[in-house]
Structure 1
Amino acid sequence: MTVTNASDLVAVSVAGKVANPAFSGLPAEPYRLAADGTPFLWPTFGGIVYNVSVGDSAFGWSGDCIHPSVSIAHPDANKNRGLNIFACVGNRATVVSGAAKGATGTVTGKSGRFSDQVIIHFDRATREKLAVDDTIMVAAEGVGLTLPDHPGIALKSLDPRLFDSLPKENVGGVLKMGVAATVPPHMVGAGAGLTSEGGSLHIQSTDREELARHGLDRLRLGDVVAVADTDSRYNHGYLRGALSIGIVGQTDGPRAGYGPGLTIVMTAPEGRLGAFDAPQTNIADILGLSA
């Protein structure tokens, strides 16, 4: 078992309201542009998504970077930043207002910069009871998580119990994580250059042949993936030999530079973090998340 400092972590409450999908007032038209310049109008991030769940395909939906299940945000920008930073994938979430009060779910991802939302899985029966503006509280635990035997590895947005459950092995002092696929650095898209404390990093998916060549066209929401030559210790950026581990949190979309969005949960410079093939490694299975 890989040793962590989990017993030292502080668990703290953060909360947000079920977010309503939104469009900016400007430009006046709500249409967006696909990679080939074609305008489209599809559902986008936010709201209660009744028919897309963790474990489903990350591709094929008539939507633009859809968050599966439920998205929350705090109306105060500073408090929302706290929510986005402190909530970790695998944390328990509890509905504290509305018809679904008392129901529990699990944080499965984050979305950043333009949406700044936390993505939470609830079963479909709970989703039917939820309403926009219902308050959901997250028992946030994971920020500050470290690996004493692997000090060069930075952990991000990761519940310690989920870390313990992920497939892993120690090989010659290098921690290797089981992943469903590996993203090459030239396919890293939106999110590069931004902070890695919260938010998401996207896989570019305009080149479908290249996507298929790397086996990325079969990704499911919740899949654990490696991102090659990518250093996310502070900001997401290219660094030869570095490696990041992410969890697919959002679906594909038709815009250039966007594809399935990842929540990065581990990262390290060259030689300190590795990956091995573990097909079908998905947090829906690991955490027992029911549709």
Structure 2
Amino acid sequence: MPIQTNAADIVTVSVMGQVANPALSGLPAEPYRLTADGTPFLWPTFGGIVYNVTVGDSAFGWSGDCIHPSVSIAHPDANKNRGLNVFACVGNEAMITSGAAKGARGVVTGKSGRFSDQVIIHFDQETRRRIAVDDQILVKSEGVGLALPDMPDVAFKSLSPALFDLLPKRVEDGVLKIGICAIVPPHFVGAGAGLTSEGGSLHIQSSDRAELAKHGLDTLRLGDLVAIQDADSRYNHGYLRGAMSIGIVGQTDGPRAGYGPGMTVVMTAPAGQLGCFDAPGTNIADLLEISA
């Protein structure tokens, strides 16, 4: 029996941003960052048009720092960018409205940034070659306000109703269980903890590679669904024993301490109302029929 949602009552509204240029701070004057062991490095970072990293690819092994697959957008006005980041949801349709790729359609696959900076959108590689920085992209935002009338303690974050319908899921003894690729123990939760759960990302710390492999997290792919143990993301991301959050891996690994693959949290509950089951290979590239 289908799980009933309030999708018919949700408001669908447009939000817009433009393709963001990767940025580096002007000060200090050196552009280098530090790895977990203090080694300076200079690698591409998030933002821009990424031509060779796509949802479904490995989240590890790239010579980059928390790279966003495909295209990142933001609005130059901080308040409007906040609206873009809060209202855009994973699974939403996006359309390019200016430039050589005008009219091409894509799909939102994640959000990123310490303070809800950018929205990540997938376009196929042919379209990416025609996109330019500053091109305008419209998102048909739908998902904020999503709820389950029979399970009000499960809170939704940044998830489109259409994608929720596609997720592997079941209800057992009143608990909503989601099919996932791996469980992220609480000691892996890094950057993003303590910040809002309405946008941005929560990172899997990855500097301890042996521990990462021990928990089967070293084979994660961009777009994989994961469960985050003892993570309460109803308002801000924080530790709460017995809580659980569900995330989608949205950006790649990076060498800095406290960082690693970034997750967009899409569901959370505080006290056992949300669970998971093993569903190896569950990835939004397949669920949303994303083409390379």
CA distance in 1, matches of 2:114, 2:224: 22
CA distance in 1, matches of 2:174, 2:12: 30
| CA displacement at 1:40 relative to structure 2 | 0.2
CA distance in 1, matches of 2:144, 2:272: 24
Q: Deviations over 1:36-60 (max 9, x none)?
A: 0000000000000000000000000
Q: Is the 8 A contact 2:116 2:199 kept in 1?
A: no
Q: Deviations over 1:65-102 (max 9, x none)?
A: 00000000000000000000000000000000000000
2:230 aligned partner, one-letter code: D
Q: Is 1:7 aligned to residue 22 of structure 2? A: no
- The aligned runs of 1:170-189 (5 Å cut-off) are 170-189=171-190
Structure 2: 5+ residue stretches without partners: none
TM-score, scaled relative to structure 1: 0.99
1:213 aligned partner, one-letter code: K
Q: Is the 8 A contact 2:246 2:266 kept in 1?
A: yes
- The aligned runs of 1:84-123 (5 Å cut-off) are 84-113=85-114, 116-123=117-124
1:3 aligned partner, one-letter code: Q
CA distance in 2, matches of 1:259, 1:115: 17
Q: Is the 8 A contact 1:71 1:120 kept in 2?
A: yes
What do you get for the CA RMSD once the two structures are aligned? 0.6
| CA displacement at 1:108 relative to structure 2 | 0.2
Identity of matched residues, %: 79
1:86 aligned partner, one-letter code: F
CA distance in 2, matches of 1:115, 1:6: 25
Match of 2:256 in 1: 255
Match of 1:265 in 2: 266
DSSP-derived class of the 2:218 partner: helix
CA distance in 1, matches of 2:87, 2:116: 16
CA distance in 2, matches of 1:280, 1:209: 22
CA distance in 1, matches of 2:118, 2:245: 22
CA distance in 1, matches of 2:109, 2:163: 11
CA distance in 1, matches of 2:193, 2:187: 11
DSSP-derived class of the 2:126 partner: helix
CA distance in 2, matches of 1:85, 1:115: 8
Q: Is the 8 A contact 1:45 1:115 kept in 2?
A: no
DSSP-derived class of the 2:129 partner: helix
| CA displacement at 1:113 relative to structure 2 | 2.4
Match of 1:74 in 2: 75
| CA displacement at 1:275 relative to structure 2 | 0.4
DSSP-derived class of the 1:240 partner: strand
CA distance in 2, matches of 1:221, 1:212: 17
Q: Is the 8 A contact 2:175 2:275 kept in 1?
A: yes
Q: Is the 8 A contact 2:190 2:203 kept in 1?
A: yes
Match of 1:22 in 2: 23
How many residue pairs get aligned? The number is 291
TM-score, scaled relative to structure 2: 0.99
Match of 2:215 in 1: 214
- The aligned runs of 1:209-248 (5 Å cut-off) are 209-248=210-249
Q: Deviations over 1:221-266 (max 9, x none)?
A: 0000000000000000000000000000000000000000000000
CA distance in 2, matches of 1:122, 1:79: 23
1:209 aligned partner, one-letter code: A
DSSP-derived class of the 2:81 partner: helix
Q: Is 1:276 aligned to residue 277 of structure 2? A: yes
Q: Is the 8 A contact 2:85 2:116 kept in 1?
A: no
CA distance in 1, matches of 2:275, 2:149: 17
Q: Deviations over 1:8-43 (max 9, x none)?
A: 000000000000000011010000000000000000
Match of 1:56 in 2: 57
Q: Deviations over 1:143-192 (max 9, x none)?
A: 00000111100000000000000000110111100000000000000000
1:12 aligned partner, one-letter code: V
Q: Is 1:32 aligned to residue 33 of structure 2? A: yes
Q: Is 1:154 aligned to residue 155 of structure 2? A: yes
CA distance in 2, matches of 1:282, 1:24: 34
| CA displacement at 1:270 relative to structure 2 | 1.5
CA distance in 2, matches of 1:242, 1:23: 36
